[in-house]
Amino acid sequence: MKKKVSTVDYILVLVFAVVIVITLYPFLNVLAISFNDATDTIKNINFVIPRMFTLSNYKYVFKDSDFVMPFVTSVSRTLIGTLVGVFTTSMLAYTLSRKDFVFHKLFTVLFVITMYVGGGLIPDYLLIMRTLKLGNNFLVYIIPGMIWVYNMILVRSFIDGLPFALQEAAKIDGANDFQIWYKIVLPLCTPVIATIALYYAVGQWNSFMDTYLYAQKLPTLQYKMYEIMNQATMKLDIHGSSKVTTAVTPMSIRMAVTVVATVPIVIVYPFLQKYFIGGMTLGSVKD
Amino acid sequence: MSKNQTAVKRKTRLSLGIIWRQRYLLAMSIPFVIWLIIFKYIPLWGWTMAFQDVKPATFKKPIFEREFVGFGNFIKAFKDRLFTQTMINTIGVSIIGIAIGTLAAIVFAVMLNEMKFLKFKKVTQTISYLPHFVSWVIIASIAKNVFNDGGVVDSLFNTNLHLMSTNSVLIWFVIVFIDVWKEVGWNAIIYLSAMAGIDPGLYEAAEIDGANRFQRIWHITLPGIRPTIIVLLIMSIGGALNVGMERQMLLSNPLIEDHTMVLSWFSYKRGIGNSDYGLGTAIGVFQSAVGITLLLIANKIAGLLGEDRLI
C-alpha cells in the first residue's frame, strides 16, 4: 500500500495530540499537587509542575499508621488473591478441558450460567455477612471472588489448543491426572497464566466495593482514599503537631495516596495491554 | 473443540468404575463446584426474599416460616418517594452513556485505523488505555480535581461552573464524560479488531474507482464493523439498568444525590441502609427482569431490521 501523507494525516496527528493531553493532564496534575506545598496548593490547583516542591505529603502518608496498614492490606490481598486465583482457576480449567471427564459438560454449564445471572447485591451481602459471617475478615477479599469464570474459560481454551498427545504420553508413563496438570500442562500455560495473573492482580488492587460492603474495619488503600474524599476536615495531628513541620491538607494527602495507588498500575499496564488484547479476541464462550 | 481429543472422546457413562478412574479430576474440580454453589447459586435462591417480608430479625427463620407478601415489596418499591427519580436517572445516564460512549469509541477507532504514522498511533493507543486500568476511586479523586468548584476546568475558564455541585441533570453529562474519558481507548479495541478483518482488496478497489478517504470510511470501514456495533449495542441495551453503584456513588456527593441515585444504589440504600432485605432484593430482581426484557426487545428489533441477532 502506498503511503501518501496528506493534510488530513496532519490534522489527525493534531487530534491525537489533544487526546494525549486530555488523557494525561489530570494524572500529571495529581502528581504535581502531591509534590507541592499544601498551603500553596490552596490558591490554585491547575498546574503540572510543582510550584513549591516538597516531600512532606509523602512523608506524612508513609509515617501514618492510618495509611501504612491499608497499604499492607492492599499488597497482601493482591499477592494472595492472585496466587490463589491463578492456582484454582488453572486447576479447574484443566479438569474442564478434559472431554473424557464424566462431569465435563455439567460442570462447564454450571460455571458458564453464573456469567449471566447472579443473585445481586442484597443476597450476596446477606450470604457473606449474615450466613457465612465473613465481615471484616481478610478471607472476604480472597474467597468470594476466587475464580472469575471468564478467566477459567481463557485458560481452558488455551489448554484445548495444546497437543493432547503430551498428556497421553504422560498417562502411559504412569502419571496421575494431578501430575499431568501440574507437571505437563501448567508449564505450557505460561502465557495464559500471565494474562489471568494480571487480571486478578489489577482486580484485587483496584477493588473497592468489597471493602465498602463487607470489611470497612479492614480498609484497603482504595477505601482509605474514599474516606479522605468524603471527609471535609481530617484529623491531621495524629502524631502530634510538633512532628509535622510543614502543613498538609486533606487535599494534598489525597493526592499523595492517589499517586501511591496509581503507580503499580502504571508500571504493569504496558505489559497488560499485550496480554489483554490477546485475551479479548480469545474470549469465546463456545464449547 | 480440539481435534486432538477426538480419539478420547467416546461416550463416558457414569459408573463407579469411572468415578474411581477419574478420582483425581473429581478432587480437582468438586471443591470449586461447591464454592460455586455457595457463592453463586445460593444468592440466586435468595431471590425468594423479594416475595417475603425479611428484616434482620426474621432473616434467621427458615424460608417457609417467613411471611410471604406476594408482590408487596415491589409495590412498596414503586411507591417509594425516590423510585421515580431513580428510574429516570438510571435510564438517563445509561442512554446518554451508551450513545456518546459508542459514538466516541467508533470515531476513535476510525481515527486510529486511518493513522499512517504507526509509532505515534501505538503511543496514542497505549496512553488511551491508561485510565481503563485505574480504579474508580482513583478516577473519582482525579475527577474531583478537574471538575470540583475551583478545580482545573473552573480555573481554565476563570469562572465557577459548579460542574459537580449543581443538583441537576448536568451531573449525568459530567459522569458520562468521565466514563467516556476512562473507557474510550479500551472500547475502541474491539472495533479496531473488527476493522482489521475487513478485506484490504475492498479499499484498493475503491481507491482505483476514485473514492476519497471519507467515502472509503463511510462505504467500507463503517459497514464492515456494522455487525460488531449491533452486537455491542444489543448487549449494552440489555445492561441499561445495571448502572454500577460504585461509579455513581464515588462521583456523587450529598448535594447532588437526587440526580446520581441509580437502581443498584437504591437497592443498597433500602436493603442494607434501612435493613429491609425483602425490599432491597425486590429492587434487584426488578432490575434483572427489566434487563432481560430489554435485551430480548433489542435483539428482536435487530432481527426485524435484518441485522445479525445476538441470541
pLDDT above 80 (res B142): yes
pLDDT above 50 (res B283): yes
Find the mean pLDDT for residues A72-76: 97
B34 touches chain A (CB under 8 A): no
DSSP assigned state of A130: I
In this complex, the residue of A19, A45, A280 whose CB is nearest that of residue B145 is A45
The answer for A 96-115 residues in CB contact with B (under 8 A) is: 96, 98-103, 107, 110-111, 114
Q: What angle do CA B26, B32, B36 make, to 5 degrees?
A: 130
pLDDT at position A5, please? 83
pLDDT at position A217, please? 95
Distance from CA of B305 to the nearest CA of A (A): 26
In this complex, the residue of B9, B27, B146 whose CB is nearest that of residue A100 is B9
How far apart CA A204 and CA A220 sit, in angstroms, is 10
Closest CA to B259 of B95, B76, B84: B84
pLDDT at position B299, please? 87
pLDDT at position A234, please? 53
Q: Residue B246: how many CB atoms within 10 A of its CB?
A: 18
Distance from CA of A75 to the nearest CA of B (A): 15
CATH 1.10.260.40 fits A57-282, yes or no: no
In this complex, the residue of B9, B126, B133 whose CB is nearest that of residue A99 is B9
Q: Which three cell numbers stand for residue B287?
A: 432490575
How far apart CA A190 and CA A179 sit, in angstroms, is 17
pLDDT above 50 (res A283): no
At B53, which helix (H) or strand (E)?
A: strand B52-53
pLDDT above 60 (res A279): no
pTM of structure: 0.90
Q: Which three cell numbers stand for residue A194?
A: 500471565
Alpha helices of A104-148 — where are they, by DSSP H?
104-116, 121-126
pLDDT at position A221, please? 95
User: How does pLDDT run across B32-55, given as a tens digit for each residue?
Assistant: 999 999 999 999 999 999 999 999
B81 touches chain A (CB under 8 A): no
Can you spell out the DSSP letters for B155-190? HHHTS---TTT--STHHHHHHHHHHHHHHHHHHHHH
How far apart CA B146 and CA B156 sit, in angstroms, is 10
Distance from CA of B151 to the nearest CA of A (A): 6
pLDDT above 50 (res A239): no
Compute and round to an integer the Cα radius of gyration of chain B. Answer: 25
Please report which confidence band the pLDDT of residue A245 belongs to, taking 50, 70 and 90 as the band edges: low
Chain B residues touching A219 at Cβ < 8 A:
none
pLDDT above 80 (res A99): yes
User: How does pLDDT run across B64-122, given as a tens digit for each residue?
Assistant: 888 899 999 999 999 999 999 999 999 999 999 999 999 999 999 999 999 999 999 99
User: Who's near B219: CB < 8 A, 6+ residues apart?
Assistant: B206, B211
pLDDT above 70 (res B257): yes
Reduce the DSSP state of residue B67 to 3 states and report it. strand
Q: Scanning every residue of chain A, which has its alpha carbon at the shortest distance from the alpha carbon of B213? A: A8
How far apart CA B92 and CA B104 sit, in angstroms, is 18
pLDDT at position A236, please? 53
In this complex, the residue of A15, A88, A130 whose CB is nearest that of residue B59 is A130
Q: Which three cell numbers stand for residue B175?
A: 459522569
- Going from N- to C-terminal start, the domains of chain A cover 57-282
pLDDT at position A284, please? 39
pLDDT at position B78, please? 96
pLDDT at position B12, please? 61
More confident residue, A243 or A3: A3
* Interchain pair B18, A127: CB under 8 A: no
Find the mean pLDDT for residues B190-213: 92
Lowest mean pLDDT among B8-22, B203-217, B220-234: B8-22
pLDDT above 70 (res A19): yes
pLDDT at position B274, please? 94
User: Who's near B112: CB < 8 A, 6+ residues apart?
Assistant: B121, B124, B125, B188, B192
The answer for A 207-226 residues in CB contact with B (under 8 A) is: 207-209, 213, 222-223, 225-226
- Going from N- to C-terminal start, the domains of chain B cover 77-304
For the domain made up of B77-304, give the CATH fold: MetI-like fold (1.10.3720)
SS3 content of chain B, % helix, strand, coil (to 5): 75, 0, 25
pLDDT at position B139, please? 96
Find the mean pLDDT for residues A184-204: 92
pLDDT at position B97, please? 97
How far apart CA A272 and CA A218 sit, in angstroms, is 28
What sign has the CA pseudo-torsion B121, B124, B130, B133? negative
Please report which confidence band the pLDDT of residue A248 belongs to, taking 50, 70 and 90 as the band edges: confident
A249 touches chain B (CB under 8 A): no
At B109, which helix (H) or strand (E)?
A: helix B83-114
Tell me the CB-side half-sphere exposure of residue A33, using CA atoms within 13 A: 31
More confident residue, B13 or B201: B201
For residue A36, list its beta bridge partners: A53
pLDDT at position A153, please? 94
Closest CA to A12 of B15, B118, B189: B118
Chain B residues touching A226 at Cβ < 8 A:
137, 140, 250
Find the mean pLDDT for residues B182-188: 95
Find the mean pLDDT for residues B19-43: 95
The amino acid occupying position A259 is V
How far apart CA B16 and CA B34 sit, in angstroms, is 21
User: Who's near A178: CB < 8 A, 6+ residues apart?
Assistant: B24, B27, B28
Reduce the DSSP state of residue A91 to 3 states and report it. helix
**Main-chain phi, psi angles of A35, to 5 degrees:** -100, 10
Q: Which three cell numbers stand for residue B13?
A: 457413562
Q: Which three cell numbers stand for residue A254?
A: 489525597
pLDDT above 70 (res B7): no
B108 touches chain A (CB under 8 A): yes
Reduce the DSSP state of residue B62 to 3 states and report it. coil
Q: Please identify which residue in the block is written with the cell numbers 484497603.
A: A220
DSSP assigned state of A139: G
Chain A residues touching B151 at Cβ < 8 A:
45-46
More confident residue, A5 or B168: B168
Please check whether residue B12 is in contact with residue A100, taking contact to mean a CB–CB distance below 8 angstroms: yes
Exposed, middle or buried by CB within 10 Å (0-12, 13-18, 19+), for A2? exposed
Mean pLDDT in chain B? 91
Please report which confidence band the pLDDT of residue B4 belongs to, taking 50, 70 and 90 as the band edges: very low
pLDDT above 80 (res A242): no
How far apart CA A124 and CA A145 sit, in angstroms, is 11
Q: Please state the separation of Cα A102 from the chain's center in Å.
A: 35
pLDDT above 50 (res A268): yes
- Whole-number percent of chain B with pLDDT over 70: 95
* Interchain pair B137, A225: CB under 8 A: yes
In this complex, the residue of B33, B213, B245 whose CB is nearest that of residue A107 is B33
pLDDT above 50 (res A285): no
- Whole-number percent of chain B with pLDDT over 90: 76
